[in-house]
């Protein structure tokens, strides 16, 4: 019988695929404590009450929170520990494949290259039941010179670690800066997959440019469907391209870009059979987990256990893994289903 508790159990046990997780947004309270973060800073990092009280500026408030995490990860050692622990926590939540993304950052005692090397060291040492790939982010608020410099480092590192560095992302406060197609075109030409935070706020012109560029995946896509303040022309373009979107329900609800879980735009994708995956975005800042996000999909959009299993299976196809790896994860999911028939009841 399907009850709240069997759904809870199912969502935790399901082998999951996480395709949208920012390293410095994923630091839990225990990771921040291990990194020597003061209690007062941790409260600031996770202070959702403050954000929810500032409803109309919630998105801008969210972006200020990352400063706490960035201060705690400003040396190669702390970046290494943060990455290691985040991987362990996703593994603990039965995530079998994780595409972790992070913005290469230079600090007083660390270059962008050293930052990436620390993340990769933790990924290479991972001996858990989880495969981890890396997506490197370009912050949209950075100027072209800074972004080009990041791209150069990313391309050099990709030559050394082609099995780990799989893609490039555009993120950062959507109210600041813009999408620069040239950076992503070069990345694509150098065999990097691309994923772009898109339509987090209403910006039809930029959404059109992003869709015309045609990234491999889109983050959020909140203001894209006409019922969600998007324009018909972009929606038509989207439906032709059918680019998988990375849905992060809790993040959108807390940032105030979605009115509520019930009114989340994911329902348009479900209803129209369009490609999506379920993700956490920043599990630390938003106090969530991938299992919880699946639970919300069940609670608010009636996804059955079978549906949720299919969401996980589909996410394999949308991932930046190789074809051989995709076959392996799909067979693991099929095997898990065969061995856990009782969980589907």
The interface with ligand IMP within residues 34-63 (CB under 6 A) comprises none
Member of 14, 15, 24, 61 binding ligand IMP (CB under 6 A)? 24
- What's the CA angle centered on 86, arms 37 and 197, to 5 degrees? 100
In the shown chain, the binding pattern of residues 281 to 310 toward ligand IMP, with x for contact by CB under 6 A and - for none, equals: xx----------------------------
Q: Nearest 5°: CA angle at 198, between 196 and 201?
A: 150
Which residue among the candidates 61, 200, 268, 292 is catalytic per the annotation? 200
Q: How far is the CB of 82 from ligand IMP (least distance, A)?
A: 9
Shortest Å distance, C-beta 276 to Zn ion: 14
The verdict on 25 binding ligand IMP (CB under 6 A) reads yes
Helices 305-318 and 323-339, axial angle in degrees (round to 10): 170
Taking phi first (over 0 means left), then psi (-120 to 50 degrees means alpha), and beta for anything else, what does residue 256 get?
A: left
SS3 18: strand
DSSP 85: H
Q: How far is the CB of 251 from Zn ion (least distance, A)?
A: 7
Token pair 């972790």 is found at 100
Residue from 112, 133, 188, 197 touching ligand IMP (CB under 6 A): that is: 197
Distance from C-alpha of 312 to C-alpha of 334, rounded to nearest angstrom? 11
Looking at 21-29, 36-44, 223-231, 235-243, which segment touches ligand IMP (CB under 6 A)? 21-29
Q: How many residues bind ligand IMP (CB under 6 A)?
A: 16
Binding mask 286-325 for Zn ion (x = CB under 5 A): ----------------------------------------
Radius of gyration of the chain (CA): 19
| # residues contacting Zn ion (CB under 5 A) | 1
Tell me how crowded residue 312 is: count the other CB atoms within 10 A of its CB: 24
Partners of residue 108 on adjacent β-strands: none
CB count within 10 Å of CB 324 equals 7
Tell which positions 7-26 bind Zn ion, by CB under 5 A. Answer: none
Shortest distance, CB of residue 18 to ligand IMP, whole angstroms?
A: 14
Smallest distance, ligand IMP to C-beta of residue 333, A: 27
Answer for which of 18, 281, 293, 295 binds Zn ion (CB under 5 A) is 281
The reply to whether 66 sits near ligand IMP by the rule CB under 6 A is yes
Q: How far apart are CA 336 and CA 58, in angstroms?
A: 40
Structure tokens at 52: 């929810």
The rounded distance, in Å, linking the Cα atoms of 77 and 336 is 37
Question: What minimum distance in Å lies between the beta carbon of 200 and ligand IMP?
Answer: 6
**Is 295 one of the annotated active-site residues of the chain?**
no
Which residue of 139, 150, 222, 312 would you call a contact of ligand IMP, by CB under 6 A? 139
Going through 74-152 in order, the beta strands assigned E by DSSP cover 95-102, 131-139
Residue 218 has φ and ψ, to the nearest 5°, of -120, 140
Interacting residues with Zn ion (CB under 5 A): 281
* Interface residues toward ligand IMP, by CB under 6 A: 22-25, 66, 102-103, 137, 139, 171-172, 197, 200, 251, 281-282
Q: Which residues does the annotation mark as catalytic?
A: 200
């Amino acid at each position: 019988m399907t009850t709240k508790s069997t759904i809870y159990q199912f969502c935790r046990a399901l082998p999951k695929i996480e395709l949208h997780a920012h390293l410095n947004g994923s630091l839990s309270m225990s990771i921040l404590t291990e990194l020597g973060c003061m209690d007062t800073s941790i409260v600031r990092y996770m202070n959702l009450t403050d954000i929810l009280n500032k409803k109309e500026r919630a998105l801008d408030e969210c972006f200020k929170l990352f400063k706490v995490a960035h201060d705690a990860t400003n040396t190669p050692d702390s970046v290494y520990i943060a990455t290691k622990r985040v991987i362990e926590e996703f593994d603990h939540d039965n995530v079998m494949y994780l595409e972790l993304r992070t913005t290469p950052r230079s600090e007083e005692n660390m270059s962008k290259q050293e930052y990436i090397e620390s993340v990769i060291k933790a990924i290479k040492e991972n001996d858990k039941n989880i495969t981890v790939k890396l997506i490197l982010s370009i912050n949209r608020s950075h100027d072209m010179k800074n972004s080009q410099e990041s791209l150069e480092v990313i391309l050099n590192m990709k030559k050394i670690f082609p099995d780990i560095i799989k893609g490039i992302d555009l993120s950062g406060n959507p109210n600041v800066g813009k999408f620069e197609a040239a950076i992503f075109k070069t990345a694509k030409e150098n065999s990097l997959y691309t994923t772009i935070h898109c339509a987090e706020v209403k910006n039809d012109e930029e959404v059109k440019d992003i869709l015309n560029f045609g990234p491999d995946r889109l983050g959020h896509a909140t203001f894209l469907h006409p019922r969600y303040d998007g324009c018909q022309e972009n929606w038509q373009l989207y439906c032709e391209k059918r680019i998988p979107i990375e849905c992060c329900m809790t993040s959108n609800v807390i940032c105030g870009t979605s009115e509520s879980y019930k009114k989340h735009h994911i329902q348009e994708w479900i209803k129209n059979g369009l490609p999506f995956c379920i993700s956490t975005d920043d599990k630390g800042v938003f106090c969530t987990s991938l299992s919880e996000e699946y639970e919300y999909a069940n609670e608010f959009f009636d996804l059955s256990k079978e549906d949720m299993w299919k969401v996980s299976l589909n996410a394999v196809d949308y991932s930046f893994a190789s074809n051989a790896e995709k076959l392996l994860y799909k067979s693991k999911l099929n095997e898990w289903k065969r061995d856990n028939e009782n969980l589907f009841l």
